[in-house]
Structure 1
Amino acid sequence: MALNPKLKSTLVFCLKLVVTLVPAYFVYRNIVGAPDWDVGDLFRLFSWSGVLPFVIALLCLAVSNFTACLQWKLLLEKQGVHLKYGHLLKLYYVGLFFNNFMPGNVGGDVKKVYDIRMQGGQDSVGAGLTATFFDRLFGLFFVTLFALGMGALFFVHDDAQRAFVWPSIWIFLGFCLLFACLCSRRLGRLCSNLMAKVLPQKIHFRLDHMFNRFQYFRSFRLWVQISLLSAVTQSLRIFVHYFCGIVVGVDLSISWYFYYIPLVAIVSALPISIGGFGPRELLAQSLFAKAGVASLESVVIQLLAYFVSLLLSLFGAFVFLLGDKPEHPKVKAE
């Protein structure tokens, strides 16, 4: 018997609330369980010397948003959806604003797909969905590459750190298999045939249409372009955490951030909690403890990085409330 949609939505929210609060409780317990813990420790983390690193973190994230939007634009244009960069940047910031308030940091992606639909008409729905989905996947794929690179260079010979290379390896291989299925005609057809046996016809038709759109990304030049843009974008976003660490007085090499933050980013991207809270902080706390960072500092770094994102996304809130005149681009796949 099918569940009532409202009841189902309530149950899903309650489950996400549990997944948020339970890890948050352990985060809190680890902090207050430290010897000589005092609430004044939180205020002593901040000083005027942390203002400059915080401003630099803001600048790093702002620049990364510009390069990320350019990558999104390239993926849309490959499918024939041509919008001005300035206009897309506004839509991108609106998506960022929604990402900060929707479960699993994916609400903004849904909003971006909807906005592309409103800008380009019904034919642009598939392009917006495909470009946004691929953009998100490729970003997570690239930070995984960073973690693997750092692991091979600095941590593979460290017995205490070597274990964290394996999750990155399996995630990397999983992404490679996924991209092969999305962009390979033969593998895509095989996956489509398998899905036809287990999925309803309507859902299968939509997924099959989406698979066909991924074929537009079979371009060496496009992969070079988005690889360069992702390298810049994801590096800058990891630097945001690094400078947030400096704000609270954490003296840690940037290599640790390139090794740990990718795993934190992947967990926070999963739609299993409210806004990524809870699992993100617990994982960061557990990982950075291996580098000698206290529980309080490791959690505050994540919260500061989120606050930086929230501040910049307020521009998206302004655009959303003000409204924006839609464009009417020509939608024709290349």
Structure 2
Amino acid sequence: MKKLKQYILLVVKLLVAFTLIYLLFKRIEFRQVMETFKHGNYWYLISAFLVFCIAFGVFFSYRFHVLVRSITGGFYKSFQFTAIGFFFNNFLPTNVGGDGIKLYLLKQEQGKDGWGKSLSYIFTERFIGFATIFLAWIVYSPFFIDVYAEAWGLVADLVHVDSRKFWLIGGGVLLLIAGLLVMVLLRNKSIGQKILKGLQDFKYRLKQISQHQLVYVSIHSVLFHAFRGLGFYLLLLYFGVSLAPVHMIFLLFMSTFIGFLPISVGALGTLEAAIVLSLVIFGITEDVALALALFYRLFLVVFSLIGGVLYLTYRRSGQQAPGK
């Protein structure tokens, strides 16, 4: 029964992914998208790829290494585990997930008593990674509130609904969801207790991390997002688009937030849709927005394949990696 549920969930995620991809390419001609790649300065394209490499290969990996260096010993193994996790998270239609694989690999390095520490490290890295871009988005939003009005109007146009009606429908749906959540919590107190237990568990695990580690993880998280934003900005320059660098915060938050939602396999389709909508809001044409999203997806595939190669290397070295 459990396996059946997993297969059904996987099928639903794949349907979401392919539906969104279909809708994107139905609205935007692929030939038109490819045409946008022909006229830019290729140094911007190469620079963007290298910047993404630095973002993921150095800062993203070192953010993890700061926490697990006592387990992995050197940066190479931390990078190896990060890339392997990325491979499972973004390339294979697996239900295990990148974090699950990293947890297993760290446990293997520590022996019997490795689960608690490994889980605290992975959870802390994920939390701080999202918290840094979330705080940047909170600071950004009050100064550019018109962006959200534009986004709301854009979505209203896409679904062919009057903007005012869309506000009412959207607000009604949010209130309904909030009301249902309150009712569920009131009727099932065990859920509330589980949430409180989860928060207490997080507080306990956070205490296991030193302040020195938390500071360095936060610094590398900021650098990771900053370099990722620089990569997007260089891609826009390649396509001949001028956009204020500060708006990369909105794009970074949307792409990160969508990546956290478990509604697709490797955020396939959802990530592209988030990038396209985020850029169209600022007046960038749909073909350029989708071209940028596809280039970013290409980079993610390349980085994932590197993780796949490292996974095979790890298995051949005699380690008991998952799937052996």
Q: Distance in 1 between matches of 2:47 and 2:136?
A: 21
State the SS of the aligned residue for 1:251: coil
TM-score where L is the length of structure 2: 0.74
Instruction: Give the CA deviation at 1:102.
Output: 4.1
1:245 is aligned with what amino acid?
Answer: L
CA distance in 1, matches of 2:21, 2:246: 27
Q: Does the 8 Å contact 1:104/1:271 carry over to 2?
A: no
Compared with structure 1, are the counterparts of its residues 298 and 98 closer, same or farther at alpha carbon in structure 2 (3 Å cutoff)?
Answer: same
Q: Size of the alignment, in residue pairs?
A: 282
1:313 has 2:324 as partner:
no
Instruction: Return the offset for 1:72.
Output: 1.5
Shift of 1:162: 9.1
Within 1, Cα distance between the matches of 2:94 and 2:275? Answer: 16
Greater shift in the superposed pair: 20-29 or 291-300? 20-29
Superposed displacement of residue 196, structure 1: 8.7
1:78-107 residue CA offsets vs partner (Å, 9 max, x unmatched): xx6352222211221222222222469982
**How far off its partner does 1:232 sit?**
0.6
Let me know the Cα RMSD of the aligned residues. 3.3
Taking only the aligned residue pairs, the percentage that are identical comes to: 21
Q: Which residue of structure 1 lines up, in the alignment, with residue 158 of structure 2?
A: none
Matches within 5 A, 1:260-275: 260-275=251-266
Identify the match of residue 47 of structure 1 among 26, 38, 53.
38
**2:279 alignment counterpart:** 288
1:12 shift after superposition: 0.8
Alignment of 1:1-334 (within 5 A): 4-32=1-29, 39-47=30-38, 49-65=40-56, 66-76=58-68, 81=71, 83-102=73-92, 107-153=97-143, 155-156=144-145, 160=149, 212-217=204-209, 219-323=210-314, 325=317
CA–CA distance in structure 1, aligned partners of residues 287 and 95 of structure 2: 24
Give the distance between the partners of 1:303 and 1:210, measured in 2 at CA. 36
- Provide the residue aligned with 2:178 in structure 1: none
Once residues 144 and 207 of structure 1 are traced to their aligned partners in structure 2, the CA distance between those partners, rounded to angstroms, is 19
Tell me: CA distance 1:105–1:139, structure 2 relative to 1, closer, same or farther (3 Å): farther
**What is the CA distance between 1:292 and its match in structure 2?**
0.7
Cα distance in 1, alignment partners of residues 299 and 199 from structure 2 = 36
- Amino acid in structure 1 at the alignment position of 2:121: A
In 1, Cα distance between the equivalents of 2:232 and 2:95? 17
CA deviation string 1:51-81 (max 9, x = no partner):
322222222222223222222122235xx63
